[in-house]
Amino acid sequence: MNSSHANKMTILNKEIIQQTFYKLLPQHAFRNPVMACVWIGTVLTVVATLMGSTSLGFGLLLTLILLVTVLFANYAEAVAEAKGRGQAASLRQARENLMANKLTDLDSSQTPELISANLLKKEDLVLIKAGEIIPADGEIVRGFATINESAVTGESAPVLREANTDRSGVIAGTKVLTDQIVVRVSNEAGHSFLDKMIALVEGANRQKTPNEIALGILLNIMTITFIVVVVTLPFIGSMVGIKISVVLLVALLVCLIPTTIGGLLPAIGIAGMNRALKANVLAKSGKAVEVAGDIDVLLLDKTGTITYGDRQATAFYPLTGIGMSELRQAAMMTSFADPTPEGKSVVSLAREMGETVQEPEQAAFIQFSAATRLSGVDLADGHQIRKGALDAILGFTEQDIRNNIELKTRVEQVASKGATPLVVAANHTILGVIELSDVIKQGIKERFALLREMGIKTIMVTGDNPLTAAAIAAEAGVDDYIAEARPEDKLACIRNEQAEGKLVAMVGDGTNDAPALAQADIGLAMNSGTQAAKEAGNMVDLDSDPTKLLDVVEIGKQQLITRGALTTFSLANDVSKYFVILPALFAVAVPQLEVLNILHLGSPKSAVISALIFNALIIPMLIPLALRGVKFKPASALQLLRRNMLIYGVGGVVFPFIAIKLIDLVVAVWI
């Protein structure tokens, strides 16, 4: 993703500073109940000081510290939002001032009408030539072209997009490098996929995630509880002859309520969306990012995800009584209208071997589909030739594999190598087998092993026969597989896993994947895929890399770990501050409480000021961690919990004591 704007952003950016103070307005401040308490406490401290509740200097100093605490919380949110706006700016820049060559209809011979891209409507047809920018999201309905998507993805290598395939989707702002295409617009102006994403990363339409809402409720309950406690203290104190000033009560309240996590919570949520976008993944909501961290099952296509997806025909195996040339010619005939890379490789290999068959005239071509799992041609003389998966061809020829031992043996030989066997038939006669070879991606087995450590089950989905599927599954290290899979099989698998209470994620790019993408808890659609797939999924990968799902899981887990770690640290901080503030309030009237002054701080006033200074400073100190996220290392939930409790729990208790003591040494000199 191009994010030069975001990269140039400094921590003292004018826009950030303005937003920091702008968020002091009540309509913004009161959106965060925890920090709203600090805001109100600041006002109360000013009023109480002016009314003589405490010395003027001490009161104004506490007021300043409380105000700075609110400003630091605002600053954390402003920085996160600025990063989002920077990333959004790069997206918006990619499609500014675009023009479009609008067609009246697909077969029109009229000169296209040149109009602003903002005037395009859904279903409009647009002609785009080499060197032009694609003006709107849509699908190619005619032609093919190489496209530079660097303006959106940051990847300079051109990609091929072609009509009537699962790689027909195009996005506004990308550039056509070769040939020309006709695109059908898929969204009204201002409602494109990128428009929605821009709004999300800018924070304008950011919705809180369920986990964020739950944590917010917990923090609010804790805050209310501490308010009740603090409000009752004067009455309890009066019973034993202790008078507590309003200023000290406010200081106690601010130190007890979870101000650290309260101030950082919005920034953590925004940063999660930004991290997903940095990985070139457009999440439709923050919820999608977090759900990815809770995933139990990953449903992965074999081709393009586990393997490179570049299956090529590598050999022809004719059955007894069938000539090699006859098999190759029949295979070529079935592949002329097969737009898949596999189909094109069959034609290429046959020609390399000397076949010169031309595309037949007046023939009806049957294109390959995931439902039928075969392709072919019906010739003018009545001959029907088909190429496809074993079960599909057996159904076409109405034969039983048990009656053709040679075919069974040949298919098993090809499959046992991890290759994919395609069977060729003419009318009701099976001619032979084509071997399609693919290669498993490097490092994929290790990644699956890490997922297994995290308790995530991996299921490979493939149209291959069970023998091939088993060989590849064993080599790749997946936990389970579905062979000879149809689109409805993916949907059934997802529903079965969800019925057991599991969260499921899957990748898809075709229209036939849309139901499964919509059903899955996390549906990662490819940017190169069809519009139906992108609309059905709740994430879109701009790089169109199916393995990105593994990265999405890690981003989601990092988001959950970051929020959990900082929450633990914040609550642990409150424990330490409690032992600092309480003796300061009551030590004079109740000398027995002096035993709680374990830090031996200079005076009650210096103790209060030191605790509040620490409470304010810890927020900006943790901003980089909130934005970057806690480093994620694959481990079980129990291991992660132990690590977080040790580092952020124990550390969160110990660190404030050290920091407050050091601050007090400086403060005590002046107080």
The residues carrying an active-site annotation are: 301
β-pair partners for 316: 434
What is the separation, in whole angstroms, between the first and last Cα of the chain? 52
CA separation for the pair 480, 489 (Å, rounded): 14
DSSP state of 522: E
| C-alpha dist (Å) from residue 296 to 173, 494, 500, 503, 522 | 36, 11, 11, 5, 11
Q: Burial, 56: exposed, middle or buried (Cβ in 10 Å; 0-12, 13-18, 19+)?
A: exposed
Nearest-5° angle of CA 666, CA 667, CA 668? 95
- Name the one residue in this structure whose structure tokens are 């605490």: 69
For residue 236 the two structure tokens come to: 């309890």
CA-based R_g, the chain, Å: 32
* DSSP, residue by residue, 312-370: EEEEEEEPTT--HHHHHHHHHHHHTT--SHHHHHHHHHHHHTT--PPPPSS-EEE---T
425 secondary structure, DSSP code: E
Cβ count within 10 A of residue 178: 13
Tokens representing 69 are: 């605490």
Question: Which pair of structure tokens corresponds to residue 373?
Answer: 């799992």
Element of type H or E holding 194: helix 193-201
| Nearest C-alpha neighbor of 503 from the set 550, 456, 444, 546 | 456
Q: How many CB atoms lie within 10 A of CB 400?
A: 8
